[in-house]
Amino acid sequence: MRHILIPILLLAALPALAQPPAPPQDARQLVTMPDLPRSLMRSDMLDHLAALNEIIGYLAENNLAAAGETAEKRMGQSTMGKHAAIARGQGPGRFMPSTMQQMGWNMHDSATEFAKVTKGGDQAKALAALQQLTSSCVACHMSFRTR
């Protein structure tokens, strides 16, 4: 009897084995937005990443002025509301829960603070300020998702 049961049990387990494994859990809060703000946010994100990459390059060349200018122009407080003309009230910030908005403001503030620190010409201080900026990216990414 055992000889028959074991192959039967194995066969019964096969469909379960064929299932794709479950993806790891995602604990981030889902934030839904209409297509326009979501695509504006995505293009901002891609530019933030590219700007960070440029900033690191400037820091490596000890060109602190260019690093600071890039941070302010692409991520700083002066960039807030830059979509107003296209978005007309439908900018990404409007669809963010308040903690997410706060994290967004923190990012703009940290970029502006980094730009200020670079004016002091101290590379180690600039790196420390840059990490404050990247920490703001990490904080929001660990908490929220849009899909």
Q: How far is the CB of 67 from ligand HEC (least distance, A)?
A: 14
Q: Does 104 bind ligand HEC (CB under 6 A)?
A: yes
Closer of 64 and 108 to ligand HEC (Cβ): 108
Closer of 64 and 92 to ligand HEC (Cβ): 92
Q: Does 125 bind ligand HEC (CB under 6 A)?
A: no
d(CA 96, CA 67): 29
- CB-based contact 82:48 (threshold 8 Å): no
- CB-based contact 31:95 (threshold 8 Å): yes
- CB-based contact 119:63 (threshold 8 Å): no
Closer of 6 and 102 to ligand HEC (Cβ): 102
d(CA 41, CA 137): 13
| Interface pick for ligand HEC out of 107, 126, 129, 130 (rule CB under 6 A) | 107
| Interface pick for ligand HEC out of 49, 56, 84, 142 (rule CB under 6 A) | 49
Question: Residue 66: left if φ>0, alpha if ψ -120 to 50, beta else—which one?
Answer: alpha
Q: Does 136 bind ligand HEC (CB under 6 A)?
A: yes
- CB-based contact 123:59 (threshold 8 Å): yes
Binding site for ligand HEC (CB under 6 A): 42, 45-46, 48-49, 52, 75, 100, 103-104, 107, 133, 136-137, 140-141, 144-147
